[in-house]
A and B are shown apart, each in its own frame.
Chain A
Amino acid sequence: MKILVAVKRVIDFNVKPRVKADGSGVDLANVKMSMNPFDEIAVEEAIRLKEKGVAEEVVAVSIGPAKAQETLRTALAMGADRAILIQTDDEVEPLAVAKLLARLAEEEQPGLFILGKQAIDDDSNQTGQMLAALLNWPQGTFASRVEIDGDKVNVTREVDGGLETVRLNLPAVITTDLRLNEPRYASLPNIMKAKSKPLATKAPADYGVDTAPRLTLLKVAEPPRRQAGVKVADVDELIGKLKALGVVA
C-alpha cells in the first residue's frame, strides 16, 4: 500500500503570532516557520506503517510557496520516500486544498491519506473531512490509534467524551491527534540523504482545480487583552478573594 501525507508549512508553534498594525493579517516576516505539528505526527505514522511492512511507499505532499520545499525536505528526512509540491503564492483555502489532494489521490491511488487534524495557523480543522467527502472515502478523524486489519483500518478517535473506535474500508482518510505518536527528529545523515530524494513541483492548474478563495478576509484584529490581576500572599487571602467573587460560599 502507498500512503500519502499532507504537510503544511506554518508559523512555528513556539512563536507568539503578532497581528499587523494595519489589520491585514498576522505578521509572518522574519518569523520562524515549521511543519504543522499535527502533520509531523502524520508523517511519523506513515513511516511507522512502512517500517511495520504495512506500507511500501510514503509520499509527502504540500501546497504552498517555494519555501514549502523545506517542509517537504523535513518529511523526506524523517523517512518519506518522495515529495510533491503544488506550488503557489496564493492563499489556498481548505476546500481548494482538499480538491487538489483529491486529484492527487486519484492519480496516486494511495491506501491511506493521512493529514493533521488542524493547521495551527488557520485552525480550520476541515481539510481531511473535505478530502474524504470529495473522494467518497471514510474518515478517521482525530486519531490516537491506527491499526490496519486486512482491507480495513481500525481508528481510535479522541472525542469530547473520551475515545471512540471506528472501522473503515480502505482507502481511507485519517487525521491525526496529539496522542497518536511522538514524531522522530531527523538525524543528520537522513537530512543529507533527503536532499537527493525526488521532489516534484507542480502547479494548481496542472490539476485543473479552481483555487479562487470563497472567503474574503476583511480584517484581522487582536483579541481583547486580559489585564494581569493581583498576586495574593497565601491560601487564606486566596480563599478571601474566591469568596468575594462568589466562587466559594
Chain B
Amino acid sequence: MSLFSFFTRGRSAPVARDRLQLLLAHERALGGRSGSGDLLAVLQQEILAVIARHMPIDRDKVIVRLDRGDGVSTLEIDVEMPDRAPARN
C-alpha cells in the first residue's frame, strides 16, 4: 500500500479524468447530455399518467429512482397501490 501510494502520490489527475468519463457517460445516456434530472422527472410524470388512467393513485406514491453501479445500473419504479375498498365502493 505504501509503495502504491508512493507511485500515485500527486498523480490524482488520471483518477479525476476516469471518474468524470464514467459519470458523464451515464449522465449523457440518461438525459441526452442535459442530465438525468430531467429524464427522471419526465419518466415519473409519464408513468404516473399511464397508471392514473386505470386506477386512482396518489402522486406521491410513485417513486422513480436511479441507482448507478460500476457494472449494472438499475431503474427502480415503486408504485404503491391504493386501497381497494374505497376505490370500488
Is this pair of chains taken from one and the same complex?
no
